[in-house]
Every structure is written in structure tokens, then in C-alpha cells.
Amino acid sequence: MPSLTEQIECWLKEQLIRSRENILEIKRSELAQEFDCVPSQVNYVLETRFTVERGYLVQSRRGGRGFIRIIKLQMDLPEQLQLLRDSIGASISQGQAENILLHLAEEGLLNRREKRVLQAAISRDNLKVALPLRDMIRARLLKAMLLALLGE
Amino acid sequence: MPSLTEQIECWLKEQLIRSRENILEIKRSELAQEFDCVPSQVNYVLETRFTVERGYLVQSRRGGRGFIRIIKLQMDLPEQLQLLRDSIGASISQGQAENILLHLAEEGLLNRREKRVLQAAISRDNLKVALPLRDMIRARLLKAMLLALLGE
DNA sequence: CGGACTTTGACCTTTCCTGACCTTCATATA
DNA sequence: TATATGAAGGTCAGGAAAGGTCAAAGTCCG
């Protein structure tokens, strides 16, 4: 018997596929009711199964007419992305990061404008945070930005 | 179904576009009647959706012949950049930053890819730093990225 | 047994919408 | 002219309806 988390994960992916779209909008409380669990269980599923790393974007709004939106990123370059994720890891230096950008630019996956933006975001002068932390923030940002870019 | 706020927001923007001008004048009470809501709802929409960050100016007059005037700001790049630098300051919330991105995207200064990248870089989920610092890092990154993008 | 993963629930924050009450202004009128 | 009046718009607090957070408790598996 699959765990609750897996059931919800499956159901959401099913909906995503069935709707033939890459966007799914749900109500947290309704979904929770459907699976007879607490609403925060939905957050757990989203946090562990629908991460940027796995190719999903999650947006939400609170309050009246609130919602949760799950967006499946189209990854036409899965192996490249996998490679990127691996080479970035949990922490990365500015030099390493710049090498990656260079490489991607050479491959034509990044235009000049885009490269400049990424470059700005990973620069130590702009991050201005002390060192163990800085490389970790840079890694997270770089991964998220590249996924946003390359995942359709 | 969109929220009342969204409906009113849409209607106003529609009018702005349709009139082919950058100025729209309305009567608060009439608009409220049209949408069957209290007049202060209109203020709510104006305060949250037609801010300077999003590129709008709102003027009004009370009393007899009172009115509300919505002006869509049209500025050239250097002006925009100056305004951006000022409004970002040394620290900025995710919401404010998103308003700016929305504004720039609407102006056509940011395409969808670019907007997604910037969005990723300012997201609290990706920054993952505690709060006073997070807003400061976001401000620095946003300024640097916009400069890289628009400053040429 | 111990660590990793799940599940739960109490409490928090954000967003939207309303209504009571306040301020301002053009104009009619004394 | 001075003032009264009614017709605007403005403010603010409160309530309801979402979703978010976090830590404790439970489960599973090596």
C-alpha cells in the first residue's frame, strides 16, 4: 500500500497529464478533504515531490480565493539538466559557476542578455554574504535560475 | 471564477487600453455600483493593483465633481531605471519585487524567460536565508540583475 | 536500535471584502 | 460674502477564507 504522500503525488501527476496542460490548480483544503488528511500534508507532498529540482514550480496565494498552482517545466534537455544539477551541488564557487555559464553560452543555450543576468546574480559583490553561506546561496540560485531558463 | 478584485482590476486595465490613452477617469461610487460592492472595495483594488511599483499613478478629488484618475506611467528607460533603483532601496520584500517584475514585463522590457529567471532569483524559497538579511540580498540582486538587463 | 521519512495539529500570515465613520469640495442660499 | 449642505472620495478596523510553518509524534526499514 503506497503511502499517503505517494498517493497524493500520483494523483497530482495524473491530473497534470490528463489535463494535457502543464499547469494544475488546486485548493489545498479540498485536496486534503479528498484524501482525508490534514491540509499541511499537501504542503509536505509539494515540498518533497514537486521541487524545482524535479522539474516543477509551485505557486500559491492565501486568503479569499486562494489556490495552489503546480507547473510542470518542460525539460527538453533532461540529461543536460541532470548533469548541471550534479555539477552544481549544494555549494559552488563563483569561478565554477562562471565556467558553467560560459559553457552554456557556448552551447547557445544562453543568450548574451541572459548570461549577463545570471552573471550578476552569482557575483560575490552582489551577494555580499560571508563565505560558507555565499557559495550555498549561489548554488541554490544558479540551479533555480537555470531550471527556469532551460525548463521551457 | 476570478475574485472581485481581479474583475475590477481587469475592467480598469481594459478601459485604459481601449481608450488608447494613458489616463482613465472614473467615479468611485458608479464603479462600485456596477460591480455591486461597497465603494471602499475600489480603494482596495487601487491600493493593491495600481501602485507606482506596477507603473500606475492614482489621483483623486473628493466632494462635488469628485473623481478618481488612474494614470499609466510611460517613461523612457533611463527614467525607469532611476525609479527602480529608488524604489528598490537597500531592502525589498518578495511582493514588492514581484510587482516590479510585473510592471517591467507589462512594459515589454522583460520577456517571459527573463521574468522567470528573475523570479527564481528573488524567491524566498531559493534564497533560503532568514528575514532581515533575505530582503537585503534580494534588493542587491534585483538591482544588479536589472542593471545588467536594462543598463546595457 | 537508529535514522530517515511521514503524518498530524496547533498556531500564524496573507488576502479579500465590508461597513461605520471621517474629510473635502462645489454650490446654493441667506 | 459667509455659511450650510449634499455629494463625492478616504480611512480603518474587523471578519472570513484561504494557505504556511514548525515541531512533535508516528512508521518503516536496514
Q: Domain map of chain A by residue range?
A: 4-72, 78-150
Do the Cβ atoms of A117 and B149 come within 8 Å? yes
What are the average pLDDT values for consecutive 10-residue runs of chain B, which has 152 residues?
94 94 95 97 98 94 95 83 82 93 91 93 91 92 91 69
CA of B96 to C1' of D21 (A): 22
Chain centroid offset of residue A108 CA = 22
Write down the H helix ranges in chain B: 4-18, 28-34, 39-49, 77-88, 94-106, 112-122, 124-127, 131-150
Give the three cell numbers for residue A120: 550578476
The per-residue pLDDT for B152 is 62
**Across A3-12, A40-49, A106-115, B29-38, least confident range:** A106-115
What CATH number should be reported for the domain whose range is B77-150? 1.10.1200.150
Q: In what order do the strands lie in the sheet with A67-72?
A: A23-26, A67-72, A56-61
Rounded to 10 deg, the angle between the A78-88 and A131-150 helix axes is 170
The per-residue pLDDT for B142 is 95
Q: In Å, how far is A149's CA from the nearest CA of chain B?
A: 6
Fold classified for A4-72: Phenylalanyl-tRNA Synthetase; Chain B, domain 1 (3.30.56)
Residue A85 has pLDDT above 90, yes or no: no
Residue A77 has pLDDT above 70, yes or no: no
CB pairs under 8 A between A and B: 70
Cβ of B116 less than 7 A from strand C: no
Q: In Å, how far is B132's CA from the nearest CA of chain A?
A: 13
Correct CATH for A78-150 of 3.40.50.300, 2.40.110.10, 3.40.50.10540, 1.10.1200.150: 1.10.1200.150
Average pLDDT of chain A, as a whole number: 90
